[in-house]
Amino acid sequence: VIKDLGQGLTAIAHGNDGLVEAIENKEKHVLAVQWHPECTRETEHFDKKIFEIFANGTI
């Protein structure tokens, strides 16, 4: 669980319970998620894009 974001980090996704599910820092090319986009990449467009970013190292 992410309680406090560090300097330069932005929450970009929240769960239904309000918890932070994804963060990013565009300056340093950081993207982190707290779910498994590889599990739903075939059915969820957003998860497919995230999986491709991680798999291709394009962030």
Pick from 18, 8, 20, 21: nearest CA to 50: 21
Q: Residue length, the chain?
A: 59
Q: Report the chain's mean pLDDT, rounded to a whole number.
A: 85
Q: Is 25 exposed, middle or buried (0-12, 13-18, 19+ CB in 10 A)?
A: middle
Distance CA 12, CA 46 (A): 12
pLDDT in tens, 31-55: 888 888 888 888 888 888 888 887 8
pLDDT in tens, 11-22: 998 989 999 988
Report CA torsion sign: 35, 8, 6, 58. Answer: positive
How sure is the predictor about 29, in pLDDT bands with cuts at 50, 70 and 90?
confident
